[in-house]
């Protein structure tokens, strides 16, 4: 007879730092071994169950749902789900054990077990289970007490005693005792593996994870390590041989599995109902709201708009999705009522219903966007609406509103699975293997965040060699292998940036909830992909730093310039804005401030809004992988003829000069060229997206080619269409998403061009965000004439402020807020949305978002300066900064001692303020202020400090200019003085080193030398190993490109130098100059520099 065995106790890598196999690997191994069913019981949750469920179904393995409940004594009780009631009980039990306790310290009490035992089957666990713990601690009598208690709670029919054979010392004696206990109580014995990994070869990784978890090296781990690496999945035959003396323990596993038929696709999930007017159902309520919104948005609802709205409403009603749109609309209405900027992004902007409800800001009818990219009957899943909100407190206000609306257990954030990146993997695995801190520092520096994960086995040996280690040495080889294997394994659970899951009734009937790291939030145990796979609906409330900037800048402009900005009605064709964009003068501008965008803008020469839509989308992996960037730019410049793959595709591709740039275009290509329906085209896009199925792709490509052949499209034309779709489906950008972001990009560009001081203040207050460090933002603003003032205890608040300077004449050339290029004050309040006004959207010939409005005459107003805020002082507590602001508002400080006494500051905080010159308004130099601080007794109460006598005057010389720069960068990360390179310009010029401004005027092919602070390093995976850098000096930026072989030769210098000197050939094209690096040298740093941003 064929042996039958089901593994009832297995872990995935979601038993964080304990399980060593991904759920997918576990399912694949189970199928290969012939296991009919596997129960996953991860520690403290069902984290890995969705992925295991999906993989197991594909592999033909039954996926039993389970979890280990951590008991008060630290032992772990495996619980398996029998039915829907049991699943809800498990989720509620785990939730109750987690909420109200510190994150990661969930405990399930015996009382909770009693309350939620229904529908659950209890195993006794292995070495960490309560039964073995009791047996090892006191013998069979206390163990019998534990087993009797489990039987009292669950019933004898729903308890089984586990026995395991991992060749541990004393294991057989314990197993014999466990069998006796089970027989005495009348419960079955089951053989389990308590598997930590899928295959024997995963044992070293499991040992490494155990060492990381317990902060040991392999040499000191001792009994933490599995002595025989036996905790892996075994085949039924292996288990039958291993437990030949206990055959019923093997057979009983399948009886237990049969008693647990619940599967995850039976989840009891329902989306909550919307609030309705009396007498209306959800479909009627949605129609009423859409009708009202359409009249507001369109003024005159044209037949074309009416047709699209009816088409969408019909499909939404047919699919039963009206409630979803109403719930999202309720959230947006809440934002509007509180003047919180809110704008939908992504494919939702393809929907006229979303536009009418003011969920999105782009009119899809005017832009002729494809609704099927957002929703279709064939799609078979709920649409996804993402709402951008100002980051920070306003977004949190919206999130807390959702919590209040749907109840403590009716809403939660989705999880974000934090995985190992290369640097963290090297550090943690290296510690386990006993590498020195010095060697790990070198390896981490060489393995920046721009390295490619897939290449770790090829690149890390070279890094070891550079760091002074022998790559062929056994320990080094083990490091390479373990780092490669640990990367992308889950390390712990975080929270998604904004995804919220809502449920009718209790969400913890569907998935366990945990406390998030942020107070007042809870998070579910699954991420957004898990939710999508299981049909759980999320609403993304995403924090967007630039919306926070716009939200803050508008009132600053009103207060200091007397101009009421209405973001919904900005001048659409402002020449100052487009001139600025054509110059690539875009530091701080949303989405178009990166090195690559700056290199493209002078070639793009944007002149209208749709150009900005293209610019937002073109520097993306899709156009780059599809080799569409240069053909588009060449055609735009008239250097290349506009051609189309087929004449029928001209209407689809005309706006982008015959080059497909957007997902919607490629979907339309499939519809026109191959006769696909909108739903089929979306299925094609998704099939070739992130979760690619080879079989599904092949089937759809065959259909695509057959459809094209029927319409006479074959050969190179057909090949080009297929290649475009396959490259774009994975990385392409939706046109609707690009248009939504282009609106925000235009608004940020407008404020930067015409209200630079207020824009800078808001930008600094919203940091960290965007592309650049505050030091770069400040230096760039100063180059544009914005005066930036230093931190001072009497005039600085926590946040940066705008102050009035002597009166100046504002003009477009100076970026004046109330001069030419600004607009009249509107009586209406600031809109709670960023939107594309329909009257302009209806004019496709200019693709402008809003109608033009009249500008007033230029005016004389006070000039403005930005005062840096106390938030940038390193080592100053937030509450201390708030006290300084509050006390300064009551009356100015007159001495360092008074600041200390009134604000209850620590001496180290006072010293930090003194170092950066924050006591200058008290008549104190930096060193004299430090002298004053040193004389204070920080242990005395504030009143006693105030009564201390003044110390004698300082005899210390004041800091030199260079010392002040060092203090500024070390103490706040930013200086309001000259750029560090300006202090060395004569020296650099004497060595033939050009400034960034001089570099812009060199000829193509000229040999040049440049130097600057490295503010960006980037190795995009689309660039085949090339590295790109941006150097900053006092005049601007220099673009550097490093070929792959040169990067490998000079990796250490390139990746670790804060200031760099580069010699190479200038490549000048269309006003953009890039230096193709030859030799790179570190530039000795007389002053610190701001950190670079290193990424793919």
pLDDT above 90 coverage of the chain, percent: 70
Please check whether residue 94 is in contact with residue 45, taking contact to mean a CB–CB distance below 8 angstroms. yes
How far apart, in Å, are the Cα atoms of 102 and each of 18, 45, 97, 970?
20, 16, 11, 34
Domain around 592? 558-741
At 436-475, the pLDDT tens digits run 999 998 888 877 654 555 578 888 888 888 888 899 999 9
What CATH number corresponds to the domain at position 1002?
2.40.50.140
pLDDT in the model for residue 1012: 96
Tokens 């406390």 sit on residue:
515
Same domain for 989 and 1058, yes or no, is yes
Those residues whose C-beta lies under 8 Å from the C-beta of residue 332, and which sit 6 or more positions away, are: 342, 344, 357, 358, 359, 387, 833
Nearest to 84 by CA among 329, 262, 338, 331: 262
Is 159 within 8 Å of 187 (Cβ atoms)? Answer: yes
Of 532, 626, 944, 589, nearest to 742 (Cα)?
A: 589
Residue 167: the pLDDT is: 87
The neighbouring-strand residues paired with 1082 are 1060
Name the residue among 768, 1054, 577, 393 with its Cα closest to residue 777.
Answer: 768
Among residues 741, 772, 793, the one where a domain terminates is: 741
pLDDT at 854 over 60: no
Instruction: Clarify whether residues 907 and 998 are in a common domain.
Output: no
Count up the domains in the chain and report the number: 6
Across the range 800-804, mean pLDDT stands at: 95
pLDDT digits (tens, 9 = 90+) for 491-508: 999 888 889 999 998 999
**Is the separation of the CB atoms in 979 and 1012 below 8 Å?**
no
- Binned at pLDDT 50, 70 and 90, residue 860 comes out as very low
**CATH number for position 113:** 3.20.20.140
Is pLDDT above 60 for 968? yes
Q: For residue range 915-924, list pLDDT tens digits in order.
A: 999 999 999 9
Q: Examine the fold and report which residue of 741, 770, 795 is the final residue of a domain before the chain moves on.
A: 741
One domain, residues 749 and 737: no
Domain membership of residue 974 (yes or no) is: no
The residues near 1068 (Cβ < 8 Å, ≥ 6 apart) are 1002, 1003, 1004
pLDDT in tens, 598-627: 999 999 999 999 999 999 999 887 677 667
Overall average pLDDT of the 168-181 stretch? 94
**Do residues 735 and 776 both lie within one domain?**
no
Picking from 266, 300, 332, the residue at the C-terminal end of a domain is: 266
- Considering the domain boundaries, does residue 271 fall inside one? no
H, E, C per residue of 176-238: HHHHHHHHHHCCCEEECCCECECCHHHHHHHHHHHHHHHCCCCCCCHHHCCCCCCCECCCHHH
Distance (Å, rounded) from C-alpha 636 to C-alpha 642?
9
- For 132-136, 213-217, 443-447, 667-671, which range has the lowest pLDDT when averaged over its residues? 443-447
Q: What is the pLDDT of residues 383-421, one digit of tens each?
A: 889 999 999 999 999 999 999 999 888 999 999 999 988
Q: Which two tokens stand for residue 681?
A: 């085209």
Q: What are 390's two structure tokens? A: 């100002």
Residues 881, 798: contact at Cβ < 8 Å? yes
DSSP result, 34-90: T-SEEEEEEETS-TTHHHHHHHHHHHT-EEEEEEEEEPTTS-EEEEEE-SHHHHHHH
CB 289 within 8 A of CB 326: yes
> Would you say residue 734 lies in a domain?
yes
Nearest CA-CA partner of 763 in 777, 747, 779: 777
State the DSSP H helix or E strand holding residue 559, giving kind and residue range, or none if neither.
Answer: helix 545-561
By three-state DSSP, how is residue 865 classified? strand
Query: Residue 541 contacts by C-beta under 8 Å, 6 or more apart in sequence?
Result: 331, 387, 389, 395, 398, 399, 402, 498, 499, 500
Note whether 381 and 250 are same-domain residues: no
Average pLDDT of the residues in 531-546: 92
Is there a contact between 45 and 66 (Cβ–Cβ < 8 Å)? no
Residue 24 has which token pair? 């997918």
Return the pLDDT at 572.
86
Asked, as a colleague might, if the bond just before 93 is cis with ω within 30 of 0, I would say: no
Place of tokens 């705008």: 802
Q: How many CB atoms lie within 10 A of CB 311?
A: 13
> pLDDT of 505-535, one tens digit each?
899 999 999 998 888 889 999 999 899 889 8
Q: CB–CB of 431/217 below 8 Å? A: yes
Other CB atoms within 10 A of residue 72 CB: 11
Q: Are residues 699 and 749 in the same domain?
A: no
Distance of CA 580 to the CA centre of its chain: 30
Q: Kind of pairing, strands 386-390 and 538-544?
A: parallel
Residue 975 within any structural domain of the chain: no
Do 395 and 427 belong to one domain?
no
Structure tokens belonging to residue 739: 């248009």
Coil/strand/helix, residue 1050: coil
Choose the weakest-confidence range: 522-536, 711-725, 831-845, 983-997: 831-845
For residues 1071 and 579, the model is more confident at: 579
* 714: DSSP letter: -
Q: Taking a C-beta distance cutoff of 8 angstroms, is the pair 197, 205 a contact? A: yes
| d(C-alpha 298, C-alpha 842), whole Å | 9
Which of 528 and 748 is assigned the larger pLDDT? 748
Q: Tens digit of pLDDT for each residue in 299-323? A: 899 999 999 999 999 999 999 999 9
CA triple 604-608-610, angle to 5 deg:
80
* pLDDT (average), residues 337-351: 94
Per-residue model confidence (pLDDT) at position 614: 95
Residue 986 has pLDDT above 90, yes or no: yes
Looking at the structure, tell me whether residues 482 and 602 fall in a common domain. no
Over its C-alpha atoms, the chain yields an Rg (Å, rounded) of: 32
Torsion angles phi and psi, residue 612, rounded to 5: -70, -35
Q: Assess whether 73 and 209 both reside in one domain.
A: yes
Domain identity same for 247 and 102: yes
Please check whether residue 777 is in contact with residue 883, taking contact to mean a CB–CB distance below 8 angstroms: no
Sorted by sequence, the CB contacts under 8 Å of residue 773 that are 6+ apart come out as 973, 974, 1015, 1090, 1091, 1093
**pLDDT of res. 377:** 85
Instruction: Give 789's strand partners.
Output: 867
Helix 545-561, helix 756-766: angle, nearest 10: 140
Q: Identify whether 275 is part of a domain.
A: no
Q: Compute the distance between CA of residue 254 and CA of residue 5 in angstroms, rounded to an integer.
A: 6
- Read off the pTM: 0.86
Domain contains 954: no
Residue 107 lies in a domain: yes
Residue 969 counted as domain residue: no
Residues 428 and 511 in one domain: no
Same domain, 643 and 629: yes
Q: What is the DSSP string of 323-378?
A: HHHHHHHHHHHHHHHTT---EEEGGGGG-HHHHHTTSBSS-TTTTT--GGGT--TT
| Burial category of 353 from C-beta neighbours within 10 Å (exposed 0-12, middle 13-18, buried 19 and up) | buried
């Amino acid at each position: 007879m064929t042996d039958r065995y089901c593994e009832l106790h297995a872990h995935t890598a979601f038993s964080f730092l304990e399980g060593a196999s991904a759920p997918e690997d576990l399912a694949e191994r189970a199928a290969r071994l012939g296991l009919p069913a596997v129960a996953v019981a991860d520690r403290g949750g069902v984290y890995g169950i969705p992925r295991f469920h999906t993989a197991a179904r594909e592999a033909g393995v039954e996926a039993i749902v389970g979890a280990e409940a951590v008991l008060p004594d630290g032992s772990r009780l495996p619980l398996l789900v029998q039915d829907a009631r049991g699943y809800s009980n498990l989720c509620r039990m785990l939730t109750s054990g987690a909420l109200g306790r510190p994150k990661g310290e969930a405990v399930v009490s015996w009382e909770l077990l009693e309350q939620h035992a229904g529908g659950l089957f209890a195993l006794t666990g292995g070495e960490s289970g309560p039964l073995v713990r009791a047996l090892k601690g006191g013998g069979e009598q206390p163990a019998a007490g534990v087993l009797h208690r489990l039987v009292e709670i669950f019933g004898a029919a729903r308890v089984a005693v586990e026995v395991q054979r991992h060749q541990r010392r004393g294991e057989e004696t314990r197993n014999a005792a466990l069998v006796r206990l089970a027989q005495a109580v009348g419960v079955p014995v089951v053989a389990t593996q308590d598997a930590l990994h899928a295959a024997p070869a995963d044992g070293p990784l499991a040992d490494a994870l155990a060492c990381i978890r317990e902060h040991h090296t392999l040499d000191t781990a001792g009994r933490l390590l599995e002595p025989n690496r036996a905790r892996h999945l075994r085949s039924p035959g292996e288990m039958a041989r291993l437990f030949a003396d206990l055959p019923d323990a093997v057979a009983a596993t399948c009886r237990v599995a049969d008693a647990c038929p619940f599967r995850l696709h039976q989840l009891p999930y329902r989306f909550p109902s919307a609030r309705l007017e009396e007498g209306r159902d959800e479909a009627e309520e949605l129609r009423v709201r859409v009708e009202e919104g359409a009249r507001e948005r369109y003024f005159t609802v044209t037949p074309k708009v009416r047709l699209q709205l009816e088409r969408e409403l019909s499909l939404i009603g047919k699919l039963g999705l009206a409630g979803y749109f109403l719930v999202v609309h309720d959230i947006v209405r809440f934002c509007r009522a509180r003047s919180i900027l809110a704008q939908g992004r992504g494919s939702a902007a393809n929907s006229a219903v979303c536009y009418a409800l003011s969920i999105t800001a782009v009119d899809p009818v005017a832009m002729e966007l494809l609704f099927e990219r957002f929703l279709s009957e064939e799609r078979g899943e709920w649409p996804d609406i993402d709402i951008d909100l100002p980051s920070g407190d306003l977004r949190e206000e919206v999130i807390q509103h959702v919590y209040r609306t749907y109840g403590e257990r009716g809403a939660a954030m989705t999880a974000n699975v934090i995985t190992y990146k290369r640097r963290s993997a090297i550090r943690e695995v290296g510690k386990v293997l006993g590498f020195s801190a010095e060697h790990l520092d070198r390896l981490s520096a060489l393995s920046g965040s721009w390295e490619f994960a897939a290449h770790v086995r090829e690149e890390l040996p070279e890094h070891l060699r550079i760091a002074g280690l022998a790559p062929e040495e056994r320990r080094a080889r083990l490091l390479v292998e373990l780092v490669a294997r640990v990367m992308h394994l889950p390390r712990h659970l975080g929270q998604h940036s904004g995804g919220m899951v809502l449920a009718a009734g209790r969400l913890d009937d569907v998935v366990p909830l945990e406390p998030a790291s942020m107070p007042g939030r809870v998070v579910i145990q699954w991420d957004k992909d898990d939710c999508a796979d299981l049909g759980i609906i999320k609403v993304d409330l995403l924090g967007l730093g630039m919306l926070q900037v716009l939200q803050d800048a508008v009132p600053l402009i009103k207060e200091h310039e007397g101009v009421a900005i209405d973001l919904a009605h900005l001048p659409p064709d402002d020449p100052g804005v487009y001139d600025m964009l054509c110059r690539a003068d875009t530091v701080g501008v949303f989405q178009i401030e990166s090195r690559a965008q700056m290199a493209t803008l002078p070639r793009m020469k944007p002149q209208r809004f749709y150009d900005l839509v293209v610019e937002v989308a073109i520097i993306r992996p899709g156009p780059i992988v599809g080799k569409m960037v240069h053909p588009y730019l060449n055609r735009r410049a008239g250097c290349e003829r506009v051609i189309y793959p087929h004449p029928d595709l001209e209407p689809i591709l005309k706006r982008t000069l015959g080059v497909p740039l957007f997902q919607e275009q490629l979907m339309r290509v499939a519809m026109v060229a191959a006769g696909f329906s909108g739903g089929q085209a979306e299925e094609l896009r998704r099939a070739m997206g992130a979760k690619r199925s080879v079989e599904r792709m092949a089937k759809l490509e065959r259909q695509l080619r057959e459809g094209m052949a029927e319409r006479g499209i074959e050969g190179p034309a057909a090949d080009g269409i297929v290649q475009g779709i396959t490259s774009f489906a994975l990385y392409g950008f939706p046109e609707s998403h690009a248009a939504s972001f282009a609106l925000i990009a235009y608004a940020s560009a407008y404020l930067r061009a015409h209200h630079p001081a207020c824009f800078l203040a808001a930008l600094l207050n919203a940091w960290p965000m965007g592309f650049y460090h505050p030091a770069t933002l400040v230096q760039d603003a100063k180059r544009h004439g914005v005066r930036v003032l230093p931190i001072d205890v009497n005039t600085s608040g926590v946040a940066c402020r705008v102050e009035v300077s002597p009166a100046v004449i504002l003009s477009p050339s100076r970026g004046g807020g109330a001069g030419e290029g600004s607009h009249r004050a509107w009586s209406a309040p600031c809109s709670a949305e960023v939107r594309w006004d329909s009257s302009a959207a209806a004019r496709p010939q200019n693709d402008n978002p809003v109608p033009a409005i009249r500008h007033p005459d230029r005016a004389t107003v006070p000039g403005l300066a930005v005062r840096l805020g106390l938030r940038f002082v390193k080592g100053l507590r937030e509450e201390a900064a708030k006290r300084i602001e509050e006390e300064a508002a009551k009356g100015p400080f007159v001495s360092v001692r008074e600041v200390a006494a009134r604000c209850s500051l620590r001496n180290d905080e006072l010293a930090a303020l003194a170092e950066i010159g924050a006591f200058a308004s008290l008549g104190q130099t930096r060193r004299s202020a430090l002298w004053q601080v040193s004389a204070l007794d920080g242990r005395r109460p504030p009143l006693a400090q105030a009564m201390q006598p003044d110390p004698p005057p300082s005899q210390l010389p004041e800091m030199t200019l260079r010392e002040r720069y060092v203090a500024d960068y070390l103490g706040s990360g930013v200086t309001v003085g000259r750029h560090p390179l300006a202090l060395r310009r004569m020296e650099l010029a004497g060595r033939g080193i050009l400034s960034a401004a001089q570099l812009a005027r060199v000829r193509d092919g000229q040999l040049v030398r440049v130097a600057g602070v490295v503010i960006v390093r980037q190795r995009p995976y689309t660039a085949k190993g090339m590295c790109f850098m941006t150097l900053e000096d006092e005049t601007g930026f220099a673009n550097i490109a490093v070929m792959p072989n040169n990067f490998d030769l000079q990796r250490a210098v390139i990746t670790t130098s804060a200031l760099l000197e580069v010699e190479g050939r200038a490549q000048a094209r269309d006003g953009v100059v890039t230096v193709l690096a030859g030799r790179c040298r570190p530039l000795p740093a007389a002053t610190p520099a701001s950190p670079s941003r290193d990424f793919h």
